A and B are shown apart, each in its own frame.
Chain A
C-alpha cells in the first residue's frame, strides 16, 4: 500500500510538472514525414546556421496529415515536411501560401500551383532488378511491358504505399482511367508479389525473391548500406512513361504557425545551397536536388533528362481518391 501510495504521488507530481510545459512559443515545430535516419543532420545544419532551435515530430506522412487535420486550428506544427505531394494536398486548407521568392527557387513542375507547398527533393520511379537474374538490356523500358506473361510472379509492388499510388495517378492522368484499369487487371493476372513499401521490394529483389520491382530510385542506396554486395541495380524507364514519374518530397507552412518568419526561413534553408547539397553528399541519400545548378549524386542521370509523364503534381491530392477507388475496384486494396 505504501508502495502504491508513493507511486501515485510521484505520478501526480510528474503529470503536474510536465503539464505546465505545453505553451506554443519557443522553437520551430516541424512535422516530418521524412525519416529521421535520413534527414536529422539537415535539422542540425539549420540550427547551426540560423541559431533557431527546431523540434521535430517524425512519423508517417499520411498519419501526420491525418493528425494535422484532427488538430485543426490548434496544431502546434509550424511546418509540414512530407514524403509526397498527396499528403500535402490533403491538408491544403491548413497551409499558408509561400512567398514568391521561395517558390521561384524550384522549377514549376515541382511545386503547388497555388503556392501552398514547394518541392524540396526529387525522386524518380524506376524498376529495381536483380542483376544476377537479368542483364540491364533485358529489363523493360516501359511499365506497359510488365503485363507480358513472361514476368508472371517475378514482379514486386507496394500497392498500399503512397509512392505506388502516385504512379497510378500519373498513369490515370496520362492514359485515362480505362487504360489504367486494364493495365491494373493485366498486371494482377501476372500475380505480382505485394509488399508494404519500397524497402522490402528492393530487399526481395536482392534476395532473388523477385526479379523486378516498381520503386523509387533512392531505396537502392539504403539497402546497399545494409547489404553492400547485393546484386541489385536501378533501371530508368523511357521518357513519358508513367513508370518514369518524377515526384517530390515537399514542405508547406501551417496557417496556425506561431512563428511564420522562422517557418519560411526553414523552407528557404531546405532550398539553399547547403540544404540541397545534402542529397548529394550524405552517404545514405541519393535524391535529386531540385534547385538549378546542383548536380545529383554520381551515377544518376541528370534531372532534366528525366522526362516523366507530363502531369501536375499539385493535382495529386485531389486525384488521390479516384486512384484509390480504382485500386479498390481492381482488387489491389481492401
Chain B
C-alpha cells in the first residue's frame, strides 16, 4: 500500500509544497520578530496569570472537542447507517449550523438564554441564572464547530467500502462487534481530523469568549493589542497558542491509523444494509430534534425575532447586495486558492511519506490556532513593508483567508487522496505518464469530491471571517461579516439581523458540495 523508500518525490512537487508552507509560516516569522524586538517574554512566561490563561484555553479546547464528538459522531452514524425517518432532511439540517458565525451564535444564545433574554420573558420570570463564562463559551463554540466532526465522519461512513464490514460479518462477527472492530477504526482518522479543526477553531476564537466573558489566550492577546502598544507580550502569548497547536497535532497524529482502508474500486457501490432502529427510533428522533432545535432553529429564530422587532420599530433595513457579492467573491477565490495550494502539500505527505514530508505537512498547521488579528497584523507588517502593490488589495485578503483556513482545504484534499487507491496512479505511471500528468489526469479527477468538500469548508469559513477582513480588505470593500460587525458595534441588532440571515441563506447551498461526496465519487467511475 505504500511506495518503497526508494521512490524519490519529484523536485517540482517538493519545491511547490515548500513554497506554500513557507508562505503559511509568515505569521510565525512576524511573532518571532516581535518577541525578539520586545524582550518582556520571560516576564510574561513567569506570571501565574499567563498559565491560568493557558489552562483556561486548554480546558475549553478539550471540552469543545469532547462535546462536538459526542454530538457529531452519533448523528453522522444515525443519518448514514440507520433507518431513521427523513434521514436526508436531518442530514442537511444538522450540517447547517456551520454557516452561522460563532459570534452570531453567541449573540443568539445570550439573546435567548441570557439572564434577561427571550426565554426569561417567555417564562415570565424576572431573571435566569447567568449562562456566560465557561459553559456559555462551550455551548456557543459547540454550536459553531460540531458540523466539522459531523461532516467529516459522515463522509467517511458514506465512502467506507461496505465489503469490509460484509467480510467481517461473513466471518461470523456480530453486528455490534463489527461496528466496534471495523467501522469505528475506519472512521477514526476522519473523527480525529474533525476534532483537530474544532480544536484549532476554539484556540483562535475571539468573538465567543469575549461575549461570554471567559478568559483565554486569544482574548488576552486582543486585550494586549487594544491596550498596550508594546507588542512583545501579545506575541509571546500568541506563541503559546502555537505550542498548544503543536500539542493538538501530536494528539491527532496518534489517532491516525498507519494502514489505510482503500476502496477496492471507485465503481458502483452497494448501499450498506441499514441498521433497524426499532424501539430506539423515538429516542433517535428526539436526539436529532434536540440538536437541530438548539443549534439551528433557535439562533435562526432569535435573528428572525430581531428582524421583526426592527420592522416593527420602523428601522431602515437595506438589503446588503454589495456586501453579499463581495463576500461571495472573496470567499470563492479563497476556496479555490486554498485547495490548489493544498494539493502539492497533501500529495507529498501521503504519496511520498517520509519524516520530512510529514513535518512539512504538519508545519502548515502552525499558524492556524492564531487569532485572526495576529494573522492580519503580520500580513500588514510584511505587505506594507515589502509588497506594497498588493497591500490592501483583495489579493492580500484572499491570501489571509488561505493562511487562516488552509487546514480545512487540506483536510478535504487529504481525505480524498487517502481514498484514491495508489494502484491507479501506479498504472498510469507504468503506461509512461509523468508524475504531473498522472496527478492532473488520474488523481485529481478521482479526488473531485474531496476537493469540492475542502473548497466548500474554506469558503464557509471565509464567509464568516471578521478580524482579518477588517484590517486587510480594500478600502470600502464591505462584506456581510463587516456589515454585521459595524451594526452590532452600535447595538443595532435589529438591523444586523438581516445581513446575518443573508449570510446564512447564501452559505447554505454550498454545504451541498460537502454533502455531495457520493454522487461525485460514483460519477468519477465513468
| A162 lies within 8 A of chain B by Cβ | yes
Known: A226-B492, A320-B227. A63 touches B393 (CB 8 A): no
Known: A1-B441, A37-B490. A56 touches B211 (CB 8 A): no
Complex Cα–Cα for A18 and B473 (A):
12
Residues of B within 8 A of A160 (CB): 210, 222-223, 226-227
Complex Cα–Cα for A90 and B476 (A):
25
Known: A90-B229, A209-B116. A226 touches B337 (CB 8 A): no
In this complex, which of B115, B227, B340 has the most chain A Cβ atoms within 10 angstroms of its Cβ? Answer: B227
Known: A8-B336, A63-B471, A72-B384. A19 touches B490 (CB 8 A): no
Complex Cα–Cα for A259 and B475 (A):
17
Residue from A18, A209, A328 in contact with B395 in the complex, judged by beta carbons closer than 8 Å: A18
Complex Cα–Cα for A1 and B220 (A):
45
Residue from B226, B336, B491 in contact with A223 in the complex, judged by beta carbons closer than 8 Å: B491
| A211 lies within 8 A of chain B by Cβ | no
Residue from A11, A22, A37, A222 in contact with B392 in the complex, judged by beta carbons closer than 8 Å: A22
Are A11 and B336 touching (Cβ within 8 A)?
yes
| B53 lies within 8 A of chain A by Cβ | yes
Q: A-facing mask of B364-398, CB < 8 A → 1, else 0?
A: 00000000010001001100110011111111001
Q: Looking at chain A's contact residues, is the secondary structure mostly helix, strand, loop, or mixed?
A: helix
Task: Write the nearest CB–CB distance from B499 to chain A, whole angstroms.
Answer: 13
| A165 lies within 8 A of chain B by Cβ | yes
| A241 lies within 8 A of chain B by Cβ | no
Q: A-facing mask of B216-252, CB < 8 A → 1, else 0?
A: 0001101101111111000000000000000000000
Residue from B116, B390, B486 in contact with A36 in the complex, judged by beta carbons closer than 8 Å: B486
A178-230 contacts to B, CB under 8 A, are 194-196, 199-200, 202-204, 207-209, 219, 222-223, 225-226, 228
| B487 lies within 8 A of chain A by Cβ | yes
Are B115 and A209 touching (Cβ within 8 A)?
yes
Are B389 and A22 touching (Cβ within 8 A)?
yes
Are B489 and A57 touching (Cβ within 8 A)?
no
| B213 lies within 8 A of chain A by Cβ | yes
A26-58 contacts to B, CB under 8 A, are 29, 35-38, 55-58
Give the nearest-CB partner of A86 in chain B.
B227
Known: A14-B394, A35-B486. A29 touches B475 (CB 8 A): yes
Residues of B within 8 A of A306 (CB): none
Are B475 and A67 touching (Cβ within 8 A)?
no
Complex Cα–Cα for A69 and B395 (A):
22
Known: A37-B487, A56-B476, A67-B380. A333 touches B451 (CB 8 A): no
Residues of A within 8 A of B394 (CB): 14-15, 18
Are B49 and A328 touching (Cβ within 8 A)?
yes
Complex Cα–Cα for A66 and B226 (A):
8
Residues of B within 8 A of A22 (CB): 388-393
| A7 lies within 8 A of chain B by Cβ | yes
Residues of A within 8 A of B210 (CB): 160, 196
Complex Cα–Cα for A190 and B476 (A):
45
**How many residues on the A side are at the interface (Cβ–Cβ under 8 A)?**
63
Known: A4-B444, A334-B220. A57 touches B475 (CB 8 A): yes
Residues of B within 8 A of A194 (CB): 213
Complex Cα–Cα for A223 and B471 (A):
27
Residues of B within 8 A of A165 (CB): 227
Complex Cα–Cα for A31 and B491 (A):
22
Q: B-facing mask of A132-150, CB < 8 A → 1, else 0?
A: 0000000000000000000
| B313 lies within 8 A of chain A by Cβ | yes
| A264 lies within 8 A of chain B by Cβ | no
Q: A-facing mask of B384-420, CB < 8 A → 1, else 0?
A: 1100111111110010000000000000000000000
Give the nearest-CB partner of A228 in chain B.
B313
| A238 lies within 8 A of chain B by Cβ | no
Residues of B within 8 A of A7 (CB): 336
Complex Cα–Cα for A211 and B441 (A):
68
Known: A1-B440, A72-B385. A226 touches B494 (CB 8 A): yes
Complex Cα–Cα for A71 and B226 (A):
17
| A240 lies within 8 A of chain B by Cβ | no
Complex Cα–Cα for A255 and B158 (A):
60
Are B491 and A19 touching (Cβ within 8 A)?
no
Residues of A within 8 A of B337 (CB): 11
Are A226 and B384 touching (Cβ within 8 A)?
no
Residues of A within 8 A of B126 (CB): 208
Give the nearest-CB partner of A65 in chain B.
B229
Which residues of B pack against A, CB within 8 Å?
A: 49, 52-53, 114-116, 126-127, 210-211, 213, 215, 219-220, 222-223, 225-231, 313, 315, 333, 336-337, 340, 373, 377, 380-381, 384-385, 388-395, 398, 440-441, 444-445, 451, 470-471, 474-476, 482, 486-487, 489-494
Shortest Cβ-Cβ A-B pairs, 5 listed: A199-B491, A207-B116, A62-B226, A71-B384, A55-B475
